[in-house]
Chain A
């Protein structure tokens, strides 16, 4: 099926990727999601710059600056500008003006320590991205390499790798992640390892299946006939043909990693002292009961849209890449 497709596409001078991209470009929802993802990426990068700058200059970044006087300020768009008029005295007018400008400095309000929720949300994005990227960098290579090796070499190698991933797959996922994170400790490192070392299994299984299919294809036989080495065949010839699996897996993996990080931070495993969305939710949870909802709303909305964008984009990419599912839409 795919050889045929690739074959035909080559004739018309269009690769599978270009083909998929053109299909994707016509999908308006997917393009919108891509835009959202790019926006979040920009925010995360901005967050990283802010973080680095403050670290470099050794000053407390704004999202850590506590100010008990500004505790629990609601989002500024909720504040009526006429509130200033209540301050009758002239002297207090100035006070009110500074007060208002203070308020405007916190577009999404402040938390229980008077820290700016908006800034913290941006830092949360940064941490979410770090987790998404680092865990992908751990899990995807493991999954790809093991999957390729298992599928390509078969026999003993296959048995061994299948054994490893069945074993990993058997262990209840979240508990496994929690246990790894707990044992490794050390904040984010534990989170990275916990998520990264458990989530490669699905990808490995998929890649293995695809490689097994491709191993018998004529182009691989031809590569053998040319006397190419195993690793060249795997990584230069087979891998590009199964790479769409990696892309699709990544789009599923990334939001899952982000959600898991939130979960871990919420439980107090993971980042310490830095504003992850999970920590924001954890902090905001009890305040919610006192009607202070904005911190909760900020973190959960930010989380929701990135996960949603990734999920929809992942679906669209899969539809665009996987010829078998094309008819489905």
Chain B
């Protein structure tokens, strides 16, 4: 028994890992920049960088040392001079071959490099430069790096030379931002002849090779930290803890009332199988399940709450506020459940042990309620347990329509405001619960079905 559970828990690990991987791929890889998605294009690069910094999005993806930074807007000058647009002495040279378009920096000038914001303190960077520089000229990055000696701050001039090359050449030039990077004041001096630049990129160095988004994410999860909502600025774990109560208050009654009704009706169907009543229930069930969930909610709220005034329309104050959502939840799910349990019951009805029970002289009721139901219970119980994770996620629509501050409501709000951390957390927890519920089902299976043994 213990061995079995232990082994099943081990087997859960790949699945949980898979779920983590999928959420990671979904939000960190596919989604482009979560910061942009969340905050939009109208905020300063510095704010985006802060967003990324908090969430580890400014690190290399899985492995690596160098990651993009928003300090300098990456530009390949294909269309225009990019960040250099406003800088005096810089001209954009469009080439017939778009890939060879470049900017030209006139000689004998010093250019302040158009950084979006000062680089972060104490970090290493590197420039990647694709350029052309004739032998007549020279160019170098120059920056004043403040160095404090006791109370005295002095500036040391640092210089990185760019070697000349009359063909397009790519080099990387590492440098260190000091303790007070706003004093960094980085410039590019060009002497003798112009320098032509085809691409220019600034990358930030991660602390070590494992200092990546993925590791950051895993470590965050290991700390049971699910991130921070950028909308409410609250830790997501706290939001979830607050939301789960209202969600359960809604979903648990829906689930059990629905289950009870579905099983009772399915037993009636099985008892009177192939009769008029059975057929009527089946048509009813299919009709019920063909009505969209949305329609149940919209029309139910309009008719029962607004028109007839039987229930409150919106809010979460007393129990009465839950009544209508629960009714709608039960009815909208009833069709599917009834059909499912009827199939389960009828499947059992055609088993051979049922014939034996009849041959013993048992009545239909006895066969149904004793023999069939006990066998069907195996399926019912597994189904109950597997539903647990869905109880947790709450009901997205019901909650947001009726203003029940649960996880479903939170989820919809998060989707609307692109609150990455919240969605990611709800998805993750839901998945982990599902995996756990699966384990629990297997154990319960062995518990209710004598044929199954945990080995």
**A adjacent to B, CB under 8 Å:** yes
The A-B contact count (CB < 8 A) is 120
Question: Looking across the interface, which residue of chain A has its beta carbon closest to that of B295?
Answer: A300
Choose from B292, B302, B423 the contact partner of A175 (Cβ within 8 Å).
B423
Supposing A174-B396, A175-B411, A308-B287 touch, asked if A328 and B22 sit within 8 A by C-beta, the answer is no
A64 to chain B: closest CB distance in Å?
23
A312 to B285, CA, bound (A): 11
Q: CB distance B393 to A172 under 8 Å?
A: yes
Stretch at the interface among B54-62, B167-175, B425-433: B425-433
B117 CB within 8 Å of chain A: no
Residues on B with beta carbons closer than 8 Å to the beta carbon of A304: 290-292, 295
Question: Looking across the interface, which residue of chain A has its beta carbon closest to that of B393?
Answer: A172
Q: CB distance A175 to B290 under 8 Å?
A: no
A91 CB within 8 Å of chain B: no
Q: CB distance B298 to A288 under 8 Å?
A: yes
Q: CB distance A289 to B306 under 8 Å?
A: yes
Q: How large is the interface on B (under 10, 10 to 19, 20 to 34, 35 or more residues)?
A: 35 or more
B265 to chain A: closest CB distance in Å?
17
Q: CB distance A175 to B15 under 8 Å?
A: no
A311 CB within 8 Å of chain B: yes
Contact residues, A1-58 vs B (CB, 8 A): none
Choose from A168, A182, A281 the contact partner of B423 (Cβ within 8 Å).
A182
Supposing A163-B18, A304-B295 touch, asked if A175 and B37 sit within 8 A by C-beta, the answer is no
A236 to chain B: closest CB distance in Å?
32
B19 CB within 8 Å of chain A: yes
Residues on B with beta carbons closer than 8 Å to the beta carbon of A315: 286
Residues on A with beta carbons closer than 8 Å to the beta carbon of B122: none
Q: CB distance A281 to B415 under 8 Å?
A: no
B206 CB within 8 Å of chain A: no
Contact residues, A242-301 vs B (CB, 8 A): 255, 259, 262-263, 266-269, 278, 281, 285, 288-289, 296, 300
Supposing A163-B14, A183-B37 touch, asked if A172 and B26 sit within 8 A by C-beta, the answer is no
Choose from B31, B286, B430 the contact partner of A183 (Cβ within 8 Å).
B31
Q: CB distance B292 to A170 under 8 Å?
A: no
Q: CB distance B427 to A172 under 8 Å?
A: yes
Residues on A with beta carbons closer than 8 Å to the beta carbon of B302: 288-289
B127 CB within 8 Å of chain A: no
Q: CB distance A179 to B423 under 8 Å?
A: yes
A268 to B412, CA, bound (A): 11
Q: CB distance B415 to A266 under 8 Å?
A: no
Q: CB distance A262 to B294 under 8 Å?
A: yes
Contact residues, A146-204 vs B (CB, 8 A): 163-164, 166-172, 174-176, 178-180, 182-185
B251 CB within 8 Å of chain A: no
When each residue 188-226 of chain A gets 1 if its CB lies under 8 Å from chain B and 0 otherwise, what string results? 000000000000000000000000000000000000000
Q: CB distance B22 to A168 under 8 Å?
A: yes
Question: Looking across the interface, which residue of chain B has its beta carbon closest to that of A193?
Answer: B30
B365 to chain A: closest CB distance in Å?
21
Residues on A with beta carbons closer than 8 Å to the beta carbon of B418: 182
Supposing A170-B19, A183-B27, A311-B289 touch, asked if A176 and B295 sit within 8 A by C-beta, the answer is no
A171 to B15, CA, bound (A): 10
A193 to B18, CA, bound (A): 19
Residues on B with beta carbons closer than 8 Å to the beta carbon of A296: 298-299
Residues on A with beta carbons closer than 8 Å to the beta carbon of B21: 167
Choose from B290, B396, B423 the contact partner of A307 (Cβ within 8 Å).
B290
Q: CB distance A183 to B30 under 8 Å?
A: yes
Residues on A with beta carbons closer than 8 Å to the beta carbon of B293: 259, 263
A273 to chain B: closest CB distance in Å?
18
Residues on B with beta carbons closer than 8 Å to the beta carbon of A312: 286
Q: Which of A168, A174, A263, A303 has the most CB of B within 10 A?
A: A174
Contact residues, B285-318 vs A (CB, 8 A): 286-287, 289-295, 298-299, 302, 306
Residues on B with beta carbons closer than 8 Å to the beta carbon of A163: 14-15, 18
B442 to chain A: closest CB distance in Å?
13
Q: List 28 A-B contacts (CB under 8 A).
A: A163-B18, A168-B22, A170-B19, A170-B432, A170-B438, A171-B22, A172-B390, A172-B427, A172-B430, A172-B434, A175-B411, A175-B427, A176-B427, A178-B415, A179-B26, A179-B423, A182-B418, A183-B26, A183-B31, A183-B37, A267-B415, A267-B416, A281-B295, A296-B298, A304-B292, A307-B292, A308-B287, A315-B286
Known pairs A166-B15, A182-B415 / 20 extra A-B pairs, C-beta < 8 Å: A166-B18, A167-B15, A167-B18, A170-B438, A171-B23, A172-B427, A175-B427, A179-B27, A183-B26, A262-B292, A263-B294, A263-B397, A266-B294, A267-B416, A285-B298, A303-B295, A307-B291, A308-B287, A308-B290, A328-B350
